[in-house]
Amino acid sequence: MIYFDNAATSWPKPPGVAEAMVHFLNEVGANPGRAAHRRAVASGRIVYDAREAVAGLFGAPDPLRVAFGPNVTEALNLALRGLLHPGDHVVTSSMEHNAMMRPLRVLEGQGIELTVVRCSPQGILDPGDVEAAIRRDTRLVALNHASNVVGTLLPVAEVGAICRRRDLLLLVDAAQTAGAYPIDVQADGIDLLAFTGHKSLGGPMGTGGLIVGARVDVARMEPLVRGGTGSNSEHEAQPDFLPDAFESGTLNTVGLAGLAVSVRWVMERGVEGIRAHEVALARQLIHGLSHIDGVTVYGTLDAELQTATVSFNIAGMAPSEVGLRLDEEHGIMCRVGLHCAPAAHKTIGTFPDGTVRFGLSAFSTREEVEAALVAVGELARETH
């Protein structure tokens, strides 16, 4: 079996992740922050360890400004719905995932004004086009860090500098880059970083969150959900301090136990090392696919300008058929279709059929890439 669906969720997980989760269930099990007994304290320590790990990985100076949630989608909704009001203007790109586009479109119907900056057919965004789209009423620039369709990296640091200069907030969807590409929220000028735990961070599903930078006025940011936090329980009003303001209800502590281990593993291995490994594999994959007759590869065709996510099509064969046959005949698991990103597919010219997507990871190998190239070549020869 060859697992090339890591852009959807990573597999396998780093050593120790499952063991940490089992340990929590068997030996800890208590609700963090809800009691003073020893197991509740132990549970709270696990949550804080995860906060410290995430903050350390992304260069965030205060772990308490890491607000955990179930995924990057909720984190984006928290940022967008919490900060924007009718009359505000937002700038985004044409390569966004529906996790960004759907809440923005809903808010647009509620009085938010939205400008979608067009990217090139390779998914490249010109920072100058972002700056040109900024108006006097612009409140936020919201971008993904890398496309989940073709892996193209967006110029987040350059846009961050523009936002600092123009006194705007920058929200970044790091679903595809967290753990696979170096991110420093301070150096990159990122005010709000939405991340998910189950992709390149190597953690379990149901983990993720939002890092809230110091330039964000938390008192003016509305929570997405309100309820019990274990703090200020004498008041019926939601706490106005982080992370409690945005963490109502019991956290997925068993998942955070696993996430803490996986993030530490990423830090020990080094994001730069992971990045170098994935660049080498992406280069091998892009080069090989580009030399197969009948195969069209999308994106930059430059492994240095993207993540290890590569989309392609075989002429005369629907993406769905390619994906099914790769699985059933060659044991290669991948993703086909529109990848929850219709805007991106319209940008690269593959809407409405979509593409076949290979998503590599830190655990992928050159041998697996070579086997996949042989398999794609066999399928392409049937139509050419």
Residues annotated as catalytic are 340
Residue 324's Cβ-side half-sphere holds a number of Cα atoms within 13 Å equal to: 5
Report the candidate in 90, 2, 3, 7 with the shortest Cα–Cα distance to residue 340: 7
Report the candidate in 175, 150, 173, 118 with the shortest Cα–Cα distance to residue 350: 150
| Residue 141 in tokens | 């620039």
Bond into 61 cis (ω within 30): no
Residue type for position 254: V
Residue type for position 268: E
**Which residues, other chains included, contact 33 with Cβ-Cβ below 8 Å and sequence gap of 6+?**
40, 43, 44, 47, 229, 230, 231
